Amino acid sequence: MRLFCEAEYEDQAQHYAAVLGSRGINLGIETVEKINSRFLRLNPELALCTDAQGLWLCANGMKMQPDWKAEIPRLKRASLKSEMLARACQLGEKPQLIDATAGLGHDSLLMAHLGAEVTLVERHPILFTLLEESLAQAQTDAFLNSAAARIKLVFADSADYLRQQTARQHRIDVVYLDPMFPQRDQNQQDHKKQAQVKKQMQLLHMLLPEQGEMDLGDELLSLAQAVAKRVIVKRPRHAGFLAEQTPDHQWLGDACRFDAYFYLPD
C-alpha cells in the first residue's frame, strides 16, 4: 500500500510507516509535489496520505479520517434524555461499556461524553491507527479531553477479546454493536433506493472486507451476551434482527433503532 506525502511531511510519513509496519501493514512512501483534489482524482486507488492534520485514508478523489472535533456540536446538544443511544445503554449509570464494532468511533465518543467508560475494540491496523490519532488529538482538545479520558483503545479482534472476557469471568455492563455491513432483510418490501453512503463510509467499505460473519456481526451477538448485562445493537429501522434473534426490547427512531438483549441470571 502507498503512503503519499509532501516533502515537508516526510518525517511524519516515516513515523506512520514504522507504526503500521509494526502492525503488519507494509507501506511504500511516495513523496509528491502537492496532495490536493486533483492529485487524489488522478490516483484513485486506495492509499494513505499525511499532512498537517495527520494521517488520512484516500481513494477515488476523497480522503477521510475520523473527525472527532466535528462531533463537538452534536456533543454539546446531547443529553441523557435527548439521545436514544443514552437511554438504550443506560448511560446515566456511567456503565463500563465495550464498543466491539469501532467504526469511526463517533458513537463511542458520544457515550464517553455522557459518562460511560468505553473500551473501543478494533482489529484492522489502519483503522486502529486512525482512531489512535483521533484519540490523541481529542486528548489535547479543551472540550473533548474529558471524554477522551474515558476511552481506551484496544487493538484486537472483537470476537477474541470477548472470548477473553468470558474466560476471565469478567462481566461488563454493556456491549454495543453497530455492524458496519448489516444483512439485507430479504423479506423487506420497501426497495426504495438508499441514499448514497457518506464519503467516510465509502472509504471504509473499500478498506474493510464485506464478507464474513464477523463483519455482519452475527457471531458477536452471542459472544457479547456471554459477558454483558445488556447488549445493544444499532440497526437500520427496517432491517432484520441480528443473527435472527428477537430482542428483549427496542428503541425506535426515524432511521435506525436500538435492539436490546438483557442478561437473565439463572
- C-alpha cell belonging to residue 102: 469501532
Q: Which of 14, 48, 64 is the last residue of a domain?
A: 64
One domain, residues 73 and 132: yes
Annotated binding site for S-adenosyl-L-methionine: 122-123, 178
Q: What is the mean pLDDT of residues 137-164?
A: 97
Q: Please list, in sequence order, all residues whose beta carbon lies within 8 angstroms of the beta carbon of residue 134, skipping any fewer than 6 positions away.
A: 65, 66, 67, 68, 105
Please return the burial class of 266, using the count of CB atoms within 10 Å of its CB with bins 0-12, 13-18 and 19+. Answer: exposed
Instruction: Report CA torsion sign: 259, 252, 180, 150.
Output: negative
Report the C-alpha gap between 57 and 59 in whole angstroms.
7
One domain, residues 59 and 81: no
Strand partners, 204: none
User: What is the band of 143 on the pLDDT scale with cuts at 50, 70, 90?
Assistant: very high
Annotated binding site: 122-123, 178
Q: What total of structural domains would you count in the chain?
A: 2
Q: What is the mean pLDDT of residues 64-68?
A: 93
Give SS3 for 180: coil
Flag whether 199 is in a domain: no
Q: At what angle do helices 218-225 and 158-167 cross, to 10 degrees?
A: 20
What residue has cell string 472483537? 158
- Reply yes or no on whether the pLDDT at 85 is more than 70: yes
pTM of the entire predicted model: 0.90
Flag whether 192 is in a domain: no
Report the C-alpha gap between 21 and 17 in whole angstroms.
6
Report the C-alpha gap between 85 and 45 in whole angstroms.
36
Q: Could you list the residue range(s) of the whole structural domain that residue 17 is in?
A: 2-64
Identify the CA nearest to 117 among candidates 140, 94, 101, 100. 94
Q: Which of 15, 49, 64 is the last residue of a domain?
A: 64
Flag whether 126 is in a domain: yes
Q: What is the mean pLDDT of residues 232-251?
A: 94
Q: Give strand ranges (E) for 123-177.
A: 151-155, 172-177
Task: Enumerate helices (H) and strands (E) in the chain, giving the number of each.
Answer: 11, 12
One domain, residues 125 and 73: yes
- Reply yes or no on whether the pLDDT at 216 is more than 60: no
